[in-house]
Amino acid sequence: MALLQISEPGKSTNPHERRLAVGIDLGTTNSLIATVRSGEAIVLPDEEGRYLLPSVVRFRAEGSPQIGYPALDASINDPMNTIASSKRMIGRKTADIKSLRDQLPYNFDDESANVPRIITADGPRSAIEVSAEILTALKKRAETSLRGNLGGVVITVPAYFDDAQRQATKDAAKLAGLNVMRLLNEPTAAAVAYGLDQGSEGIYAIYDLGGGTFDVSILHLNKGVFEVLATAGDSALGGDDMDRLIAEWLLDDVDDEELSSNSQFLRQAMVSARTAKEALTENTSTIVSLKLPDGSSREIVLDRTTMDEIIAPVIDKTLIPCRRSLRDAGLDKDDIDGIVMVGGSTRVLSVKEKVERFFEKKLYTDVDPDQVVAVGAAIQADILIGNRSADEMLLLDVIPLSLGIEIMGSMVEKIIPRNATIPVTRAQEFTTYKDGQTAMSIHVVQGERELVSDCRSLARFELRGIPPMAAGSARITVSFKVDADGLLSVSAREATTGIETQVDVKPSYGLTDEEVEQMLRDSITFANDDIKARLLAEQRVEAERVILAIQSALDVDGDKFLNDDERSELVKGINKLKELTDSDNAESIKQAANDLNQLSEVFASRRMDASIRSVMAGHNINEFSE
């Protein structure tokens, strides 16, 4: 029985004043929609009482697309027009999809420049359009169930989704006619559901293994504050990979090479693999029946022990981010109070066994792992729409990778470090490199390495109209702002004139899971090499600055203040430093730059004296003292 909600006089919201808000878990395999009704977060069913909506869309030459169960039923007979696992493609560039093509048996439109499109009977379709169809179906379900128009929605995304993947998700929601109040990280949504339902406090690991993505987040829960301490994961790892390995095992048993290129049979094998995987959560063995193209059938016995061996590489791969998240949070396994299991793939018994063995802590499985993310999103949506006080809960998410800009020498200056709590705004001051410089190019990058070539380019823009002045005199403030959705905007402002420019960073593609993993791995493996490379780059930049400054002074005043021998010595010093600048010896470059600076001291002193005499001409010292 639900408890009555009692409020102070005048503080409660009248039923007719409640605004409709929902939370959506846009999943790789299945999607759900939930809302808060009478103070309780519930998942909304379809007309037949089913809570899950398969994330599958079938495009037809005639008629509207089929979504959910009808599309899933048609996937075996019409695999090339029936798109599943679109979440794996969203926010990715065409070139990035090539690494996944063995897992995505579709025909792609190779002429698509940035956004990959699958060729269907209804024309080329992108992952954004596929996701929009799924969101539209969920929207209709909510409006029918709640009998009204939605005021806003919170959509969950994997914590390891980068800026492009988050923006693509928002674009899909816009196509579906949804007002997105916030994108919420899936592990955080799960923690919201558990934290509010059970009053949990302490440090928890949220292990989220879905159909196509994996995240692990370390959260500190304390009196309604959900602080993410660290996050890690793989944006292309999940139950689909288990299904693919099982399907490959089934194909090996059939032992017919021609079937490996038969798209209809491959889809059947994937569906059968998923069915077998689900059956083995309750049974120790199952029989898989495959219908061969010649009309005959092949029955294959698969037991749980064999399946566990087949899918072990996928489960083991999830433990790598678990170790990294603990290290990033500065914690040991003993500091963890419990593990919240999220995502349908955590129903697999060997997943539970390995996770429990790794953390050596209790697993929380009280809430349906398929529904827990949608429930958490619904609670957050109810707060954001204004139906309950925002003081009840504070979410402190983090960004997964560092953000910065390119500086001279192709180096990266990190402005927002990874695992910084969002929303966040950070600013840093920079200056000009050359005399009279009137513009500055801002190159925004993402990654953990010291050099631009080892990081990912996000955006470029220019600040123009800088007053011409001596190098190092201008003051340009570059500000980074990451909003609650994890989306980035960058601005640059010159102090004297107040001129400003900014860009909302919307890259046309996202980081692949391999690139994210590699970035973090390389930041550790090549830490010493990166430090040496940065020191070398810094010395080269300093050397070039010294050469440019002295050469400019020589061109203007060299004949006035230097005799031939003195000028010759300075020119030799400049040439020596130029030669060393191309070397890889940072210490030699530094020493040569210091030597050249010492050589130029007499020249600099004479120029300064002349400048002072020029200013003093016609005046006496008493005027200046006054």
Catalytic residues: 25, 87, 186, 208
Cis ω for the linkage preceding 293 (within 30 of 0): no
Are the beta carbons of 120 and 83 closer than 8 angstroms?
Answer: yes
Angle between helices 127-146 and 163-175 (to 10 degrees): 50
Nearest to 88, CA basis, from 71, 105, 74, 76: 105
DSSP code at position 13: P
Nearest to 512, CA basis, from 113, 236, 319, 317: 236
Number of other CB atoms surrounding residue 73 within 10 Å: 16
Tokens encoding 383: 């707060």
Are the beta carbons of 302 and 276 closer than 8 angstroms?
Answer: yes
- Spatial neighbors of 404 by CB under 8 A, at least 6 apart, are 412, 413, 414, 415, 416, 444, 445, 446, 455
Nearest to 46, CA basis, from 27, 33, 28: 33
Nearest to 378, CA basis, from 583, 187, 155, 594: 155
The beta strands (E) that lie in 267-419 are given as 285-291, 297-303, 338-342, 363-364, 394-398, 403-407, 411-416
- Spatial neighbors of 61 by CB under 8 A, at least 6 apart, are 121, 122
- Angstrom distance (rounded) from CA 510 to CA 158: 13
- Angstrom distance (rounded) from CA 353 to CA 359: 10
Sequential DSSP letters for 350-376:
HHHHHHHHHH-S-EE--S-TTTHHHHH
